[in-house]
Structure 1
Amino acid sequence: RSMRYFTPSPFMFYISHPEFAITGASPEKLVSVRGRELETIPLAGTRPKGKTPAENAALAEELLNDPKEIAEHMMLVDLGRNDLGMVSKPGTVKVTKLKEVQFFSHVMHIASFIQGELREELDALDALKATLPAGTLSGAPKIRAMEIIDELEPVRRGPYGGAICFLDHLGNLGSCIGIRMALIKNGKAVVQTGMGIVMDSDPEKELEESVHKARGVLTAIQAAEEGVL
């Protein structure tokens, strides 16, 4: 309830296990399958939300004119096209919307919409396999980026950055990336965030972005502890 109130997002989830729980408010679709139609929506390029509509408009314009953010976004659009291309009929992968700013509870992101048509001999789980891990959580080229992550990150990510999914009896799939989430175990909540690192990244700005991304979940946890809702 606290997550819904303080950080509403397109994908809200709660998973209960005897040893832990996961709750989150992810803004980012990984892949969806409806019939034979595939869609993925990479989010890359971030700014904190402003306090007024005018401030939001100015920040969104600045975001769309930032060469570093646009280069990162286009790299991940290309990676998303490649992921869908592995399971789509030839010639069906297309970008239906490019570089659209979307606003969420605490931040704004650049989003692009990529669609394809699933090959007849494949199913939704093949599409899920083709898109995991998400390019926005790994990088490009994906295999080498994953190797670098494994070499450099001192702690394994666990469920963070994975997929939260549902699959229905007709073979339709809905999935989001496991971000803006908390892993709750032994009375403690662990919140993980990340940012895209490219050649001209500014470490201070990347850290600031990470803090902004965590703020909604941390606020929700604090409110739940204090019994605000």
Structure 2
Amino acid sequence: KNTASKKTPSRPRARAAAAVEGNAPAPTPLPGGPTRRATTRVPEEQIEHRILAAAIAEFAEHGFAGARIERISKQAGTVDRMLYYYYGNKERLYQAVLEKLYAEMIGAQRDFVLPPDPVAGMRQLIEHAWDHYVANPDLVRVIMNENLLRGRHIRQSQQVGRTSFPLVETVAEILSAGQAQGVFRRDVKAEHVLMSIMSLGFFYISNQYTCSAWMGVDLMSRPRRAGWRAHICEVVLRSIQA
């Protein structure tokens, strides 16, 4: 009688990770022995990374209402129950997507190095914000969808709600330095400058398809993107110059 008991993993997630195990190359079998392909477990961090990457693409393409768990799991190379295991339901997964996108945006803002000259600093900040929108079109599309939902999920997020955005403080710091040097107007508010920068970038990316259609041009061609990048800088800097 076989009295050996089956060993139970110490962590529940170890059992969940087994659902996405991949096949490893089979070892050389012993002569006359049984052959069985060995498996290697995918790390939990890699599983969650794949799920979130697939979820971002799905929510950006179909919005919250149109997104489907089965498409996300298929794209992530896993199974539906893994998504429910990590996130519970579609709404929590969508909130995790929002938090990831905002975390990446905040991280990019923190990487911005403030130059000593306020005019150069404002120009570089405008370019930095524009470049992030261009490089992350899914961010724009997901935020558009969240606004259609009246910001319901972003208000429920404790992670985003308690986080300060470095761009707000950076704009205020650059503007204050420029006002002290007499190169920026003293009656300009930092929040207006920030909203101008964000509006001119966000609108261009979010409306690229309709505007390209009725203007008869490709707004996302390299020359036109470069032209709009320079235009944003010119508009904002002229509006705040002393």
The TM-score, its normalising length taken from structure 1, stands at 0.23
Q: Which has the higher helix share?
A: 2
Q: Which has the higher strand share?
A: 1
Higher relative contact order (CA 8 A, sep 6+): 1
Larger radius of gyration: 2
